[in-house]
Amino acid sequence: MPVLAPSLDRETFLALPLAEQYHTVRAFTEHLTEPLTTEDYVVQSMADVSPTKWHLAHTTWFWETFVLGEYADGYALYDEAYPFLFNSYYVQAGERHCRAQRGYLSRPTVAEVFAYRAHVDEAMQRLLAGIPGDADSTLAEVVRVGLNHEQQHQELMVTDIKHVFSVNPLRPAYRERSVTPAPDPGPMQWIAFDAGLHEVGYLPERDGVFSFDNETPRHRAFVETFALADRLVTCGEFMAFMEDDGYERAELWLSEGFATVQANEWTEPFYWEQRDGEWQHFTLAGMQPVDPHAPLTHISYFEADAFARWAGARLPTEFEWEVASEGLPMTGNFAEDDVLHPMPPEFVASGGDGAPAAPQLRQLFGDVWEWTRSQYSPYPGYNPLPGALGEYNGKFMSNQFVLRGGSCATSRTHIRRTYRNFFPADATWQFTGIRLAKDL
């Protein structure tokens, strides 16, 4: 097996034989557990969070259930009790343990879960041997779902362990990291787009061999003229909102948003704390000063929407975002960079004679998931996958908002320009942030 190649881009990755793709993804999952003690694997700090141990076992159950159980002749269940324990929400795949009680399970132990992984990995390697990366068999298709599924859980492992550590009064660091102040990114600039009829959604020849079902079918959408901000909103810009009593002014908020603010007594972004008159926030490198020039993150849809209204702007729709992203390279700060925190924007050099360069869209991929004002709905003609895998996306199409672009905890080989992430409007424990849009 090749060693782990963290800087692999999506195109190169998709060209690897399937067994190597599998190894790469599984190894990266385990790479993410390296900083943890045995105790860290056990804790569930809120209902949305799962213990690391559960993520390790659930992703393995996925391979066992949807791949080995279907395609590997004579494969026998590793442990009869595991399907009940490690099914997440696939109703058609059988009964499952209550989500809110995943933190009540001390057994199986961490060592037992790693043994389970090793057992399944061995069977998977046998099964996948010799299959090219672009095979179009049903097996290959399900394996691609499994790889992308495991990559989604990698992101959750990062955001969940961040939450676990954050509720501990000791505020332990996942991994120490030296942090230096970011340079001033300068004023936000606007990039205008004309109205027009566009094709949106997954395009295999451009986006590679895989997409989730919710990105399909490709279809036409009319997008009116709009402008998009060249960069993400910074912490400093959000501080100005706070200083202007943003959290107290009902007129800036959706009704449900203001009710959420009041019920939860929100007065600052999630993970922020005032210490000795200074704003600090909890990061995977422990408590750190909030850097006014760095991108804002861990922000709910409600906060993003209120901030935008305060700023005289709005959030983009998902199709505005997708149209704007056309032709841009999918580079950015991703999970493989091991930073696990949004980075300051790269700057665009000024023009030749000292004049500022034309504004360019920056930070579109990686760093933070960008909230759109689009509620998560099926595309015209949408069909979920058949069977239990059809529960993957379609059944969540109510009361969620679409996010685009991936985050610092997303794998570089996982993101696509048509990728539709979705979360409820009050979710804050993901690396979510704000890019503004405007009517013209």
As measured in angstroms, the least distance from the Cβ of 104 to its own copies is 5
> Residue 302 in contact with residue 182, Cβ under 8 Å?
no
Question: Considering the rule CB under 8 A, would residue 97 count as an interface residue with its own copies?
Answer: yes
Footprint of its own copies on 219-258 (CB under 8 A): 219-222, 224, 226, 250-251, 253-258
Footprint of its own copies on 164-183 (CB under 8 A): 164-165, 167-170, 172
Q: Which helix (H) or strand (E) holds 227?
A: strand 226-229
Footprint of its own copies on 63-82 (CB under 8 A): 81
Question: Considering the rule CB under 8 A, would residue 301 count as an interface residue with its own copies?
Answer: yes
- For residue 311, the SS3 value is coil
Question: Considering the rule CB under 8 A, would residue 34 count as an interface residue with its own copies?
Answer: no
Question: Considering the rule CB under 8 A, would residue 103 count as an interface residue with its own copies?
Answer: yes
Q: CB neighbours (10 Å) of residue 119?
A: 15
> Residue 292 in contact with residue 337, Cβ under 8 Å?
no
Closer to its own copies by Cβ: residue 282 or 365: 282
Query: Is the bond into 108 cis (omega within 30 degrees of 0)?
Result: yes
> Residue 229 in contact with residue 316, Cβ under 8 Å?
no
Question: Considering the rule CB under 8 A, would residue 375 count as an interface residue with its own copies?
Answer: yes
Per-residue tokens: 285 = 């490198």
Question: Considering the rule CB under 8 A, would residue 351 count as an interface residue with its own copies?
Answer: no
Q: Report residue 291 CA to chain centroid gap.
A: 22
Question: Considering the rule CB under 8 A, would residue 381 count as an interface residue with its own copies?
Answer: yes
Question: Considering the rule CB under 8 A, would residue 7 count as an interface residue with its own copies?
Answer: no
Closer to its own copies by Cβ: residue 108 or 292: 108
Question: Considering the rule CB under 8 A, would residue 190 count as an interface residue with its own copies?
Answer: no
Question: Considering the rule CB under 8 A, would residue 105 count as an interface residue with its own copies?
Answer: yes
Cα dihedral 55→61→63→66 (10° resolution): -130
* Binding residue count for its own copies, defined by CB under 8 A: 71
Is the Cα dihedral 25, 29, 30, 32 positive or negative? positive
As measured in angstroms, the least distance from the Cβ of 106 to its own copies is 4
Question: Considering the rule CB under 8 A, would residue 197 count as an interface residue with its own copies?
Answer: yes
How far apart (Å, rounded) are the C-alpha atoms in residues 304 and 302? 5
Question: Considering the rule CB under 8 A, would residue 354 count as an interface residue with its own copies?
Answer: no
